[in-house]
Structure 1
Amino acid sequence: MPTCPAPVRHLDADAVAELTTTAAELLAFHGSATSPALLTDLPTACARLAEPLRHQLRPVDTADGLFVLRGLEVDDTDLGPTPDHWSTVGDAGALWDVVLLLVSTAMGTPIAWDGQQDGRFVHNIVPSPGHESEQTGASSSVLLTPHTEDAFHPGRAHLLLLCCMRNHDAVATTAAGVRLADLSAADVDQLKRPVAPILPDDAYEQARKFAGRPAPVPTLFETPEGLTMRYDPAYTPLDGADQDWREAYRRLGEELARVCVAVALEPGDVLVVDNDLVVHGRVPFRARYDGTDRWLKRASARVEGRPTRPLAEHDEHGYGQAALTAWVD
C-alpha cells in the first residue's frame, strides 16, 4: 500500500495566522467551541477570510477525491494527554475544534448527529478501552474496514475532515477513490441495483435499535462527473443478495484495495475526503492508554445542490437519526 501520495495543499504563514487568529477570536468571544452562537457566526467569519485562504479551503476538486491541508501546527505540550474516551475530552484542543469548523464552513455546511457524541459538530477520535476490536473510530487492534462515512443515512456528509492532534506512531488513515478503480460496465450495472441494506454502525446505539425494516440501497450511482459510492461492507448483510451482485461487490472491494493509499497524518494536518468518491479506514495499532495515543478531530459537511446521490434516498427513514445543521439559513 503506497504511503502518503495524497495531494497536499500548503498553507503559508500568513494563511495559518489568519485562520488560527479568527478561530481564537471566535472562541474567546463565545467562550466555548460548542456554543450555538459560535456556530451561527461561522459563515460571517468565513466571509471575512482573505480570498487566497478561501481558495485553499475550497472542497475537493480532483478525481483522487481527497487532499491534505498542511501548515497548521499543534503544540503537543499545550494539548494535554490523549483522553481514553471522547466524553472526557472537555475543552482540550478547543481552538482546533473552531479551526476545523471554519474549514468545514468554507467548504459547505457543518453537520452533526443527534445520536453520536452528544450531537457535537466536532468529534474526538481516540482509542478507548473495551472498544479495541469494534468497527468504529474508538477501535485500535483491528483494521477499520474502508467505508464511506455514515453510509446508512441519506443525509450523510459530502465531505469528511480529519484533523490530526497527535500521531506519534504514524498510524495511517487509508483511503481509496472509486473513480480510480477499474470496474467493468457489468459490475457497475450490478452495483447500481438496490440489493442490500447498510445498517447503522456501533457508534449509533439508538439507530441500531430502530424498529423500521432495513431497505436495500444502491452501492454505486452515476453522475455527469462520474461514479459516486455508498459503501460500508462491515455493516452490509449479504445473505439476501444474489450471486452476481455479491461477485460484483467483491470485485469492487478488491479494486478499492488495489488503489488504496495510506496517509500518516502529522499534527496539524487536515485530511479532507469527498465522502461520495472515497472510502476511508485505518490500519491496526496497539493502543497504550498512557496519554500519548493517536488523537484526531473529525468534522462533516454537506455541499448543497450536488447531484451525487439518487433521488430515491429522500424516501429513506435513516433509522430514526436526524442530522443537525450548524445554522438555519
Structure 2
Amino acid sequence: MPTCPAPVRPLDDAAAAELTTTAAKLLADHSRATSLELLAALPEACARLSDSVRHALRPVDTPDGLFVLRGLHPDDAALGPTPGHWSSVGDAGALWDVVLLLVSSLMGTPIAWEGQQDGRFVHNIVPSPGHESEQTGASSDVLLTPHTEDAFHPGRAHLLLLCCMRNHDHIATTAASIRRTALAPADVEQLERPAVPILPDDAYEEAQRYAGRPAPVPALFDTPEGLTLRFDPAYTPLAEADAEWREAYRRLEDELARVSVAVSLEPGDVLVVDNDIVVHGRVPFTARYDGTDRWLKRASVRVEDRPTRPSAERDEHGYGQTALTAWTASPACSIRR
C-alpha cells in the first residue's frame, strides 16, 4: 500500500493564523466549544474569513476524493495527555474543535448525531481500554475495515474531516476511491441492486436496538460525475445476499484494497474525505494508554442539494437516529428518520 501520496493543500502562515485567531475569539466569546451560541455564530464568523482561506478550503475536486490540509500547528504540550476515552476529553483541545468547526462550516453544514458521543459536533477519536478489537474509532489492535462513515444512515455525511492532534507513532489512515477502481460493468450492475442492509455499528447502541426491519440498500450508485458507494462490510450481513452479489462485492473489496493509500497524518493536518466516493480505515497499532497515543478530532459535514444519493434513501428509517445541524443544534428536518 503506498504511503501518503494524498494531495496536500498547504495553508500558509497568514491563513493558519487567521483561522486560529478567529477560533480563539469565538471560544473566548462563548466559553465552550460545545455551546449553542458558538455554533450559531459560525456562519457570521466564516463570512469574515479571507478569500485565501476560502480557496484553501474549497471542495474536494479530484478523483482521489480527498486531500490533506496542512499548515496548522497544535502545541503538543498544551494539549495535555491523550484521553483514555472520548467522554473524558472535557475541554482539552477545545481551540481545535472550533478550528475544525470553522473548516467544516466553510465546506457545508456540520452535523452531529443524538446517539453518538452525546450529540457533539466534534468527536474525539482515541484508543480506549476494553475496545481494542471493535470496529469503531476506539479500537487499536485490529484493522479498522475500510468503510464509508455512518453507511447505515440515509442522512450520513457527504464529507468527513479528521484533524490530527497527536500521532507520534505515524499510524496510518487508509483511504480508497471508488473512482480509481476498475470494476467490470457486470459487477457494477450487480452492486447497484439493493440486496442486503447495512446495520448500525457498535458506536450506535440505541440504533442497534431499533425494532424496524432493516431495508436492503445498494452498494454502488451511478451519477453524472461517476460512481458513488455506500460500504461497510463489517456491518453488512453478506451471507444473506445471493452468490452473484456476494462475488461482485468481494471483487469490489479487492479493487478498493488495490487502490488503497495510507495517509500518515501529522499534528495539525486535516484529512478531508469525500464520503460518497472514498472508504477510509486505519491500520492496527498497540495502544500504550500512557497519554501519548494517537488522537484525532472528527467532524461530519453535509452539502445540501448534492446529487450523490439515490432518491429511494428518503424512505429509509435510519434506525431511529436523528442528525442535528450546527446552525440550530436541532433535528434537521430534511434528514430526520
Task: Please indicate the TM-score interval, normalised by the length of the shorter structure.
Answer: over 0.9
What are the ranges of 5 or more consecutive residues in structure 2 without an aligned counterpart?
333-337
Q: Distance in 1 between matches of 2:313 and 2:178?
A: 20
Offset from partner CA, 1:258-316 (integer Å, 9 cap, x none)? 00000000000000000000000000000000000000000000000110000000000
Structure 1 residue 58 displacement after superposition: 1.2
- Corresponding residue for residue 98 of structure 2: 98
Corresponding residue of 1:244: 244
Counterpart in 1 of 2:288?
A: 288
Q: CA deviation at 1:239?
A: 1.7
User: Partner of 1:145: helix, strand, or coil?
Assistant: strand
Residue deviations 1:106-132 (CA, integer Å, cap 9, x gap): 000000000000000000000000000
Secondary structure, in 3 states, of the residue corresponding to 1:49?
coil
The answer for unaligned runs of 5 or more in structure 1 is none
Q: Distance in 2 between matches of 1:75 and 1:19?
A: 15
Q: 1:224-271 deviations in whole A, cap 9, x for unaligned?
A: 100000000000001221111000000000000000000000000000
1:29-84, CA deviations, whole angstroms, 9 ceiling, x for partnerless residues? Answer: 00000011111111111111001111111121111000000000011100000000
Aligned to 2:146: 146
Structure 2 counterpart of 1:239, one-letter code: A
What is the letter of the counterpart of residue 22 of structure 1? T
The 2-side partners of 1:144 and 1:235 are apart by 12
- Match in the other structure for 2:6: 6
Q: What does 1:110-125 correspond to in 2, within 5 Å?
A: 110-125=110-125
Q: In 2, Cα distance between the equivalents of 1:143 and 1:46?
A: 37
Match of 1:192 in 2: 192
**1:55 maps to which residue?**
55
Partner of 1:38: 38
- Return the alpha-carbon distance in structure 1 between the equivalents of residues 312 and 44 of structure 2: 34
Number of the residue aligned with 1:263: 263
TM-score of the superposed pair, with normalisation by structure 2: 0.97
Give secondary structure in 1 for the equivalent of 2:135: coil
Instruction: Letter of the 1:101 partner, please give it.
Output: L
- The total of aligned residue pairs comes to 329
Distance 1:145 1:82 in 2: 23
The CA distance in 2 between the partners of 1:127 and 1:277, in whole Å, is 27
**Other structure's SS at 1:239 match:** helix
Amino-acid identity (%): 80
TM-score of the pair, normalised by structure 1: 0.99
> Could you say what the CA RMSD is over the residues aligned between the two structures, in angstroms?
0.7
1:327, CA displacement in angstroms? 1.3
State yes or no: 1:170 paired with 2:207: no
Residues in 2 aligned to 1:77 and 1:256: alpha-carbon distance in whole angstroms: 38
The answer for the alignment partner of 2:22 in structure 1 is: 22
Instruction: Look up the match of 1:201.
Output: 201
